[in-house]
Structure 1
Amino acid sequence: MVDDSTKNVCLLKSTLKQEGYRVTVTDSDSEALIKIVESPPDLVLLDTFTPSIDGYEITRQIKQNSHLPFIPVLLVTNCDESSFIQGLQAGADDFLIKPVEQNELLVKVRSLLRLKHSINHRDIITQQWCEDFVINMTHDLRTPLTSVIQMLKMLKKGTFGDNLSEMQEYLQQITESNQTLLDMVENILDVYQYEAGNKELEFFPVDLRELSQKVVQELKPLAIVKNLTLTTTFNSQQSSLLTVRGDRIELYRLLINLVGNAIRFTDSGSVEIQLHRHHQYVTIAVKDTGIGISESEQVGLFERFRQGKHQRRGNGLGLYLSLQIVEAHQGNISVASTLGEGSIFTVYLPLQRKP
């Protein structure tokens, strides 16, 4: 309850407490907003005339805060049509007219709390449905895709005879297509887990020098096919200092995403992983001499399903997932690119994570 009138507070608070409601009262707008963010209430009872910013502005800030759950706002106002219009525009859910009738107060409080309960219940069901859908979908897709990939590999090796030599090129294309689909399924599941807050990371010391060299070795065949040089560089005096606390698997996937993208969009020249130790953080820069990214496409590049306009674009999840991994490590990622000259994706990882 936000009200600076002692008389109103006493009347409304005593009425609500008799019905078993727990009421917190403040006459400070700024204090009210802080309390609402720190410990979201089930309902806000708000006088439109408050000391510094009016009740309409408080309502607007509550409704526009995407980090808050649904909180019904019950405005206490004079019988004035302009007040109703202003309150509705701010996002108020209902109104009480001064002087407030006790029965009307209780009826409207009960009604708004039922509304909140219904919305909370709906959100829980929706979240559970989405979780079940994503998990089941990815499971149902992953199993046959994995089986097909293994079968194709056996065919290529001649497990079922040598009469398939003329089909090797087609088998290779099918294998790559299935691998792409499998990677997309894995990305969808990981993106969902990050967004739902269900991704569990295990933080241990990770040697970025050793990890980047592993990535180079694994992706070098792709670079060789395109006649690209793929290397990792670092200051030899810093080689023993390029260690951060992180989830090794997720940092590996981050590097695979960034380096894999660089190879895909580079037709000649090189792709290089550059490691550098700073005072409070380590940078991982993936630099290529590829086609580059226009300024217009750099805007929102890390958004979900942002595919770009190039014919070699992916599914739009790789960079978004990379951002999720970096932020989970309390780091940052940025891009600098010139069309036709190449790109540099730089990851900043802190040496000490905040608790």
Structure 2
Amino acid sequence: MSESSGSTLQLPSKTTALSNVNLLIVTDSTNNIQLITNSLHAADMKFTYDFRSIDLSLERLSQKQYSAILYDYFSDTNSKDIHSLREKIQWLCHLYPCIPLILITDPLGDKQAVDMIQLGVDGYILRRNISQLPDILEKTLFNFLSKQAIVTQQEDLIRQQHQKIEQLEREKQSWLKQTKTKQEYISHQNKRIEQLEQEKQSWLSNEKAKQEHISHLNHELRSPISSIVGFARMLKEQYYGSLNEKQLQYAAGILSSAEHLLALVKNYLDIVKIDAQKQKLELEKLSVGEICQAAMFIVKEKAQQKGLNFSLDLDKNIDFCTADSLRLKQVLINLLSNAIKFTDRGSITLQVRLKDQFLYFAVIDTGTGISAKNMTKLFKPFPQITSHHESTGLGLTLSRKLAQLHGGDIIVTSELGKGSCFTLSIPQYQ
């Protein structure tokens, strides 16, 4: 096997994806051009752009290279109009296969939206969510360049395999000239086939082992740690006899460390499951007030132990939402627990607001705050954050992934020494 077959894929960085961004905006509305460029300027994105009408865009572009095509389309319930859109999308994807295409439109309906993705649209955004265009553009460019990097590496691997096949063929021809009997040639080839088969089986075994490792990781890690937690709790509660003060201190330390390790393992396994696209949401109609109260009840005692003001500020016009009850509560508990951990005095408020069919759960604290330098590291696993040295980062990483799985996100604002605000946003109804 060639050495490159075991090499690590080098994906482009987000900095590379966002350098020299040159856009082609396809639209018949000059007003929408301003709307689109304003949303990109609002995100401090550096870019240049040209624009064309929808009809002119179907002609081949000049030699000028574009980073992406933004196709601004006004939807219509008329089926002929949708059919025309399909044809234009197909033609654009055919003419410019090496330029990612992002469709900006009003709601088309689920079926039409899926059709657009299947036709080759790389990004899709509703006009009412135009403020999210910078994120969509960033992800689309990064994903497109990543796919190109993967294709390039696969082509390199194929080329190397072809070269190796040619080399083997030359070796074969050379060896055939030197062998005197057909049996020797067959024996040599059989050994080579056996060697290749062993390499193939070794690769398959490694892949299977990776899958089995993830599958069994849950049981192999959680079970023993859960046992440690249980035994430590029994020692601390002195179920089987009295302990002296030092023994109680050690039992409490073991219990605290084991509970922290168990939470760390659970968060890591949940992240792996989401990244493997094996995590599914169990959506149901929920009372927003009840889910907030349930999350606050779990961490309320910790807040009271530190003497913190703990309150819920829920708008009266908010009643129900559609979400995964377990996962939504998990995110709220994570955000509330973090706030309690880094707030020594003052208050913690869970504020819930409704805007543009999105619910915003803001956890506001008067804690230590976060520096601008550390803000960029918050949602990365195991960040080196000086002011948050006790945090592994897995809780926030998992929380953001669960928020995005719901179609939302988590943003943070903070000032060092004056507290922080972590805001979870999700659609009110899925």
TM-score (norm 2): 0.55
1:242, 1:276 within 8 Å by CA — same for their partners in 2? no
Matched, 1:133 2:213: yes
Asked whether 1:305 is paired with 2:371, we answer no
Residues 307 and 313 in structure 1, CA contact (< 8 A), matched pair in contact too: no
1:174 has 2:254 as partner:
yes
> 2:295 and 2:286 mapped to 1: Cα distance?
14
Gap change, CA 1:347 and 1:67, over 3 Å in 2: farther
Alignment match of 1:250 (pick from 324, 327, 346): 327
Q: Secondary structure at the match of 1:290?
A: coil
User: Among residues 363, 366, 370, which one is paired with 1:293 in the alignment?
Assistant: 370
Go from structure 1 to structure 2 and tell me whether the alpha carbon gap of 1:352 and 1:311 turns closer, same or farther (over 3 Å shift).
Answer: closer
Decide whether aligned partners of structure 1 residues 228 and 140 sit closer, same or farther in structure 2, where only a CA change above 3 A counts.
same
Query: What displacement does 1:275 show?
Result: 0.8
Q: Tell me if 1:315 matches 2:395.
A: no
The one-letter amino acid paired with 1:212 is C
Unpaired stretches in structure 2, ≥5 consecutive residues? 1-59, 61-91, 102-116, 121-140, 167-199
**Paired letter, 2:383:** R
CA contact (8 A) 2:377 2:385 kept: no
Residue correspondence of structure 1 range 85-96 to structure 2 within 5 A: none
Shift of 1:69: 8.7
Return the offset for 1:166: 5.0
- Write out per-residue CA displacement over residues 23-49 of structure 1, whole angstroms, 9 at most, x where no aligned residue: xxx9954046679x9689xxxxxxxxx
Amino acid at match of 1:140: E
Change (3 A) 1:346 1:162: same
What amino acid does structure 2 have at the position aligned with 1:190?
D
How far off its partner does 1:352 sit? 3.1
Tell me how far 1:67 sits from its aligned partner.
4.6
Normalising by structure 1, we get a TM-score of 0.66
Given residue 30 of structure 1, which amino acid in structure 2 is its aligned partner? Y
Distance 1:28 1:122, change over 3 A: farther
Give the equivalent residue in structure 1 for 2:241.
161
- In the other structure, the counterpart of 1:345 is 422
1:27–1:180 Cα change, 3 Å: closer
Of 196, 206, 230, which residue of structure 1 is paired with 2:286?
Answer: 206
Confirm or deny: 8 A CA contact 2:100 2:144 kept in the other structure.
no
Superposition pairs of residues 111-150 of structure 1, within 5 angstroms: 128-150=208-230
- 1:190-222 CA-partner distances (Å, limit 9, x unpaired): 000000101121111122211111121111111
Q: CA deviation at 1:170?
A: 2.2
Q: For structure 1, list consecutive stretches of 5 or more residues without a partner in the other structure.
A: 5-25, 41-60, 76-90, 96-103, 108-119
CA distance in 1, matches of 2:216, 2:412: 35
How many residues align? The count is 268
8 A contact 1:135–1:189 mirrored in 2 = no
* Alpha-carbon RMSD: 3.7
Q: Using the TM superposition, give the Cα deviation of residue 234 of structure 1 relative to its aligned residue in structure 2, in angstroms.
A: 1.1
Equivalent residue number for residue 299 of structure 2: 219
Moved >3 Å (runs of 4+): 26-29, 31-35, 37-40, 61-64, 67-75, 91-95, 120-131, 163-166
CA distance in 2, matches of 1:196, 1:340: 38
Measured at CA, do residues 64 and 216 of structure 1 come closer, stay the same or move farther in structure 2, by a change above 3 Å?
closer
